[in-house]
Structure 1
Amino acid sequence: MSDGRPGSSAARRVLRPRTWRRWARMANFAGYDGASIDDATIGAGVRLSPTVSVRNGSRVTIGEGSHIGQGSCLWAGDSSGRITLGDHALLGPDVFITASNYDFDAGPGPVMDLPKREADVVIGANTWLGTRVVVLPGVTIGDGTIVAAGAVVTRDLPPDSVAAGVPAKVVRRRGAAT
């Protein structure tokens, strides 16, 4: 909807209260979620979407030249679980990596009150995790491995493999004829 003047439609959008509320929510979210990114060890040339969420950043290491897509979450453990991404790791949008999980076998009661199990997660160099991949505590993904979109990685994956599915399984080796 334009009255014919250049830029007037964009100016109206900027002046709308709805636009300001959205910007305020984004600023609040970035301040809350991005707070621990400052504690992470980040290599040279890393590109992070501004919507990346990092928890317990002092236990997160991101290798040189890595790219982390929008909405991705790197949640290290509260006390010991570390997340390490090798050089040139590529994470698509909405990838979720956690080094901590509730020990739901520890007893009855609300899950959120149960103790946590923490285990390091290592994502190798030159890897690619597609959109909405989930990586659970204790997993190592070998160098050069590709994980298909939507996969849930519950066990280690060897180097130079292609994995897919829930739970993720190796479907072939990289460079092998299909």
Structure 2
Amino acid sequence: MQIGDKVSMDRDVRIRSVGPKDKIKIGDSVSFDRGVDIKAHGNQNGIEIGDRTYIGPYTCLSGAKLKIGKDCLIASHSSIYSNNHIFSNVGQNINQQGNSYEGITIEDNCWLGTGVKVMDGVTIGEGSIIGAGAIVTKNIPPYSIAVGVPAKVISSRREPAEV
């Protein structure tokens, strides 16, 4: 585990790495609010959180190949899971079939509202905003505003001349 300078953690923050390749890298001036739960597993690239990112209360980050960029705001009760259960064999219990790991990337300067869920295999582009309660199941282009279940892009933050 690598923790940068000036990292702040409120009480009840839990950070765990399960396997030997499950690295956790936390940048400088990252802030974890109360009850954040981070678990790296899957023996892959681990979890990386960029400089000056804020993770809100009771947010869960779990899986492998999970990267959150610099200067992000992730509000309370959000869930970011870079893994999924394998369930293709109906003759075997789901909890015995293992997991798949595609990975999640949240690029720099993004804001995820309260209760956002980000599913495995998704990239949220730089400067994007995800509205409260949204479930992100597909990639979001840079500088987008996305809302809903499933999340859909409703506008761009770019000036009309830039689009």
TM-score range, shorter chain: 0.7 to 0.9
Counterpart of 2:5 in structure 1 is: none
Question: Mean Cα displacement is larger for which, 104-113 or 124-133?
Answer: 104-113
Query: Which of 89, 101, 119 is residue 118 of structure 1 equivalent to?
Result: 101
Instruction: State the alpha-carbon separation in 1 of the partners of residues 16 and 102 from structure 2.
Output: 23
What is the percentage of aligned positions where both structures have the same residue? 33
Does the alignment pair 1:34 with 2:23?
Answer: no
Instruction: State the alpha-carbon separation in 2 of the partners of residues 51 and 41 from structure 1.
Output: 19
Taking the TM superposition and a 5 Å limit, the aligned residue runs for 1:83-162 are 83-162=66-145
Counterpart of 1:172 in structure 2 is: 155
Secondary structure (helix, strand or coil) at the match of 1:34 reads: strand
Which of the two has greater strand per residue? 2
Contact 2:16 2:40 in 1 (8 A): no
Residue type of the alignment partner of 1:131: T
Instruction: State the alpha-carbon separation in 2 of the partners of residues 62 and 103 from structure 1.
Output: 27
Contact 1:106 1:115 in 2 (8 A): no
The gaps in structure 2 that reach 5 residues or longer are: 1-10, 18-22
Counterpart of 1:72 in structure 2 is: 59
Equivalent residues, number: 142
Question: Mean Cα displacement is larger for which, 108-117 or 163-172?
Answer: 108-117
Cα deviations across residues 42-95 of structure 1 (Å, max 9, x unaligned)? 11111111311001177110001000000001102xxxx311000001100011
Instruction: State the alpha-carbon separation in 2 of the partners of residues 56 and 103 from structure 1.
Output: 18
Which entry has the higher C-alpha Rg, 1 or 2? 1
Which of the two has greater helix per residue? 1
Taking the TM superposition and a 5 Å limit, the aligned residue runs for 1:44-55 are 44-55=28-39
CA RMSD in angstroms comes to: 2.0
Following TM superposition, by how much is the alpha carbon of 1:175 offset from its aligned partner in structure 2, in angstroms? 4.6
Runs of 4+ in 1 over 4 A off after TM superposition: none
176 and 111 in structure 1: CA distance in 2 versus 1, 3 angstrom threshold: farther
Secondary structure (helix, strand or coil) at the match of 2:95 reads: helix
Contact 2:56 2:74 in 1 (8 A): yes
